[in-house]
């Protein structure tokens, strides 16, 4: 009899627990995950300092001892026409703006760079031009050049074709500290 009670109890437990019960649930539809991404256009430019590219500035000391040399470059995947321009300023004395040391030449490596003299604004050097008719997407255009700025060491003509007179070259300039600023900008059209 104990066996019969155990069997009946087992059947009742199974019936109450829902093992044999029919479910009355509506199964929901599928769900979705939407993944979005964006690869933006970019345009970077700057100085290559010991292998670290596109730095915003570089400082070069003893510029009268050895002509300053630096690497400048860019990379982009952007659509458009870009002109990378460089404006070269003379060395200006720290105390007075009148004493200055002019720039004798501007070269890319050993090749002289032609200067552009606009009707308005400062004369500039066009270092690179980039003309991408469409967005490049994952393709990247890049270039880098080594630029040499040579201070005047004697009278003659400077990099713009103007006269270098006494006191405007390293040979007989006023003693003191001098700073020249070389500025790079991008013109887009």
The predicted model scores a pTM of 0.78
Tally of domains in the chain: 1
Tens digits of per-residue pLDDT, 12-53?
666 666 555 566 888 899 999 999 998 888 899 999 999 999
Q: With a cut of 70, say whether residue 96 has pLDDT above it.
A: yes
6 part of a folded domain = no
Of 48, 16, 58, the closest CA to residue 183 belongs to 58
Q: In a 10 Å sphere around its CB, with 0-12 CB exposed, 13-18 middle and 19+ buried, how is residue 84 labelled?
A: buried
- Rounded to 5°, the CA angle 179-116-158 comes to 45
31 part of a folded domain = no
Integer Cα distance of 6 and 72 in angstroms: 90
- Rounded to 5°, the CA angle 56-58-61 comes to 165
- Could you tell me the pLDDT band of residue 132, with boundaries at 50, 70 and 90? confident
* Cβ(82)–Cβ(129) below 8 Å: yes
Q: With a cut of 80, say whether residue 137 has pLDDT above it.
A: no
List the domain range (segments joined by +) for residue 72.
43-188
Integer Cα distance of 127 and 160 in angstroms: 16
């Amino acid at each position: 009899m104990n066996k019969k009670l155990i069997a009946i109890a087992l059947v009742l437990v199974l019936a109450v627990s829902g093992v044999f019960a029919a479910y009355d649930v509506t199964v929901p539809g599928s769900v979705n995950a939407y993944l979005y991404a964006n690869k933006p256009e970019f345009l970077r430019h700057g100085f290559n300092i010991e292998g670290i590219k596109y730095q915003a500035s570089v400082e070069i000391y003893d510029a009268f001892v050895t002509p300053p040399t630096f690497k400048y470059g860019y990379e982009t995947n952007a659509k458009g026409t870009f002109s990378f321009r460089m404006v070269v300023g003379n060395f200006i004395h720290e105390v007075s703006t009148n004493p200055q040391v002019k720039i004798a030449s501007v070269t890319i490596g050993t090749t002289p760079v032609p200067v552009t003299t606009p009707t308005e604004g400062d004369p500039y050097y066009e270092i690179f031009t980039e003309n991408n008719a469409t967005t490049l997407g994952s393709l990247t255009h890049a270039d880098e050049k080594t630029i040499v700025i040579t201070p005047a060491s004697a009278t003659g003509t400077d990099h713009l074709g103007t006269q270098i007179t006494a006191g405007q070259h390293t040979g007989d300039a006023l003693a003191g500290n001098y700073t020249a600023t070389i500025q790079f900008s991008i013109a887009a059209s």
